[in-house]
Amino acid sequence: MGFRRRERGERGAAALEFALIAPLLLMLVFGIIQYGYVLSFRQALSQSATEGARSAAVTLGTPGGTEQADAARDALDEALGSYGITCVGTALMRGGSAVGTCAVTVAACSNNAARECASVSVEYDYRDHPLLPTPGFGFAMPDALGYTAVAEVS
């Protein structure tokens, strides 16, 4: 009725089992963190494109001018600033190197040529520029993250 006396061959079995399972547990925890960060960044990309399109749509500009595109790029920069990413021309830049593309167009809407639409597209090359470089998880991460938003110019 008391504690069972351990056999001599069972000594250290718990430590060995933990040593075998600990790397898998750590890999699982870091994988969850990495994937959550990627999803958060994907949301930031979609929000930045939406804000850029909205900003271009509500900005008054002269025909053929750059006011609307500049307003969209400013909104992109503000939305992605916490990640250190800016839209310069047609390139997404982080730390002085290109990490993706950004495109801002104001043209006739595809469904109504009489109206103008602002379109903002962002694409981040995640495979070559991961935000959280964690070795061993590249197979589960996307090659690129992108989003396009369109807003009708008022």
**Does residue 44 surpass a pLDDT of 90?**
yes
Of 126, 52, 141, nearest to 83 by C-alpha is 126
- The per-residue pLDDT for 146 is 92
- The per-residue pLDDT for 64 is 64
Percent pLDDT > 90 in the chain is 44
Domain ranges for the chain, please list them: 11-152
pLDDT digits (tens, 9 = 90+) for 2-24: 566 656 667 788 888 888 999 88
d(CA 148, CA 104): 10
> Average of pLDDT values for 125-129?
88
Q: pTM score > 0.95 for this model?
A: no
pLDDT band of residue 41 (cuts 50, 70, 90) is: very high
Higher pLDDT, 137 or 47: 47
User: Of 36-40, 108-112, 133-137, 150-154, which range is least confident?
Assistant: 133-137
pLDDT digits (tens, 9 = 90+) for 60-87: 877 667 889 999 999 999 999 999 999 9
Taking each helix axis from N to C terminus, what angle separates 13-58 and 67-80, rounded to the nearest 10 degrees? 160
**Does residue 114 surpass a pLDDT of 60?**
yes
Judged on CB neighbours under 10 Å (0-12, 13-18, 19+), 118 is: buried
- The per-residue pLDDT for 70 is 92
- The per-residue pLDDT for 130 is 86
For residue 152, give the 3-state DSSP assignment.
strand
CB 57 within 8 A of CB 154: yes
Bridge-based pairing of strands 97-108 and 145-152 is unpaired
End-to-end CA distance of the chain: 83
Alpha helices in 59-134 (DSSP H): 67-80
